[in-house]
Chains A and B, each alone.
Chain A
Amino acid sequence: MTYVITQDCVDVKDRSCVEECPVDCIYEGERMMYIHPDECIDCGACEAACPVSAIYYAPELPPEKTVFLAVNERFFETIGSPRGARKVGKSNRDEPSVAALPPQERS
């Protein structure tokens, strides 16, 4: 299992989660953050830290958001498991379906 970041992070990227992730497995894309499903240890620190409640434990994902389990996974297809987001730094790409989203406006 893993924790999953969903659409509410897109164009927000508050990054509070990054500071609390004990294994540094939350990677930064151009428009949202992504959790590495194999590196995540299920501790839940990120879920509580997220100010927009964008993060779910995978089994708790509501039906309309389950697609983000695969979205997070796909982001890492090209880079594998770097074991540490800090050394990788910010990426200027996104998972394709996220990249294709219109700008997310929030009240």
Chain B
Amino acid sequence: MDCLRVAVIGSGPSGAYCAQSLCEEPDLDVRVDVFERLPSPFGLVRYGVAPDHQKIKSIVASFSEIYKDPRVRFHGNVEVGTHVTVAELRERYDAVIVASGASVDRRLHLAGEDLPGVYSATDFVAWYSGHPDAPVDRFSFDTERVVVVGAGNVALDVARVMCRTADELRRTDVPEHVVEVLAESEVREIHVAARRGPAFAKYTNKELLELRTLDSADIVVRLPELVLDTAQEQSLAADTLAARRLAILHDLARTPTAGRPRSIHLRYGLVPEAFLGERSLSAVRFRQGESVVDLGADLAFRSIGYRSSSLDGVPFDAASSTIPHLQGRVLHQERPEPGLYVVGWIKRGPSGVIGTNRKDALETVGALLDDRRAGRLRRHSNLALAGAPIVGTQVVDWRGWQAIDRGERDRGRELGRERVKLHDRARMLALADAVGRTGPDVTDVRSGVPLLMRSTGSGHDQGTGGRRRWS
């Protein structure tokens, strides 16, 4: 059979696993182009996994291996929908896999949610991760009391990172401004408020245990909030991990505090009702059983999950904020869209850990390969030999990313740290640019795969006067 050409939209874990499993398929002549809207690869591994979880982040080493395969190419700083459309990709590739994840935060839709002092956890995570879109001066911590609304690992990440000392942060890769701002933090008391009881908390036992290793914070759990109602008891009977989590919480509740400068309070059964304050936040109001509980706070984070954004030209179910699919085949009016697939959080919703995406990718790639064998993939051979119309951006290829990567390690050396993330998109692009550009409109003769054309719209244009179109 002819070479299979696949475009993957998104370079996070689910996209990476699709590229990997396509390349591991024996006797498959395949080319994979991975499109990423940021100049850097790895998605939430780079911009979601907490900076003090460097061991988890080490997964990028195995993701990087994928790009050493000459059949796989990285096209960073290309936003599908802006610089190229899904329809244009579908015309030029046998299959397109949407792996764009879920990066938008969910809102509580409560009174006062837009008061100054109320943020989404996503904002904070993006800021401390050095995301290029996160304003450097977004946060200051000149306040003692913080409330985090949520019961997942991100809620714990937010609380834990706020408690890290400057020394601990310097052992991570967070940008220097993040270390400086958090080093000045006056935060003393953080309440992580879960709407439901402890049996339904979503954080993993590991994240819970990790809180105990914080030198700078006591962990406070209130025994009365651990009392289970019938629904929780039933759920616990069927969920060993949750039962183990409850045992950890009981252990924490029995542990006396040690007078550390900060405290993290894990709270349960607190249903958020409103954010209170005149000009800025002063308290978060909860209902706990029959009572009203106001937790004083000048800073609050909602951490109640992510949702996906829709992509032009791809069916989307707004209610679940996912793409309707059958085993990874995108469905339009309940029928599979030929050659269009979905994987990861935008397929199954924002849950699971990195490894969950591996299994998920195997399902999607399995469906894709089945469709190919059955002749269900359309082929547009007349378009195959020409460049995709990438317009208005400087494409960062793998070499470009490696230059950014070196720049981050160089920056770390200057500051006596292992690595310091670059958060400034212009700086990242300049580093990538310095290692040269992919030639314009070059086609890999052997495979017929187009090497993407680059045009920045700022003098590096190939003289075609903007977006190239096929007649």
Contact = CB atoms under 8 A, between A and B. Distances in A.
A41 B359 contact: no
B244 interface: yes
A57 B352 contact: no
Contacts of A57: 205-206, 209
Interface stretch (A44-52, A74-82, A96-104): A44-52
A19 interface: yes
A60 B205 contact: yes
Contacts of B230: none
A59 B354 CA distance: 21
Contacts of B356: 20, 45, 48
Contacts of B373: none
Interface residues of A, number: 19
Contacts of A53: 240-241
Interface residues of B, number: 25
Q: Is chain B's binding surface mostly helix, strand, loop or mixed?
A: helix
B353 interface: yes
A62 to B, nearest CB: 9
Contacts of A42: 53, 55-56, 206
A5 to B, nearest CB: 15
A48 B56 CA distance: 16
Interface of B: 13, 17, 53, 55-56, 58-59, 62, 204-206, 209, 240-241, 244, 248, 352-359, 362
19 contacts: A1-B55, A19-B358, A20-B359, A22-B354, A22-B355, A22-B357, A41-B56, A42-B55, A43-B354, A44-B204, A45-B352, A47-B204, A47-B241, A53-B241, A57-B209, A59-B206, A60-B205, A60-B206, A60-B209
Given A20-B359, A46-B355, 20 more contacts: A22-B17, A23-B59, A41-B55, A41-B58, A42-B53, A42-B55, A42-B206, A43-B59, A43-B353, A43-B355, A44-B204, A45-B355, A45-B356, A47-B206, A48-B204, A53-B240, A53-B241, A57-B209, A60-B206, A60-B248
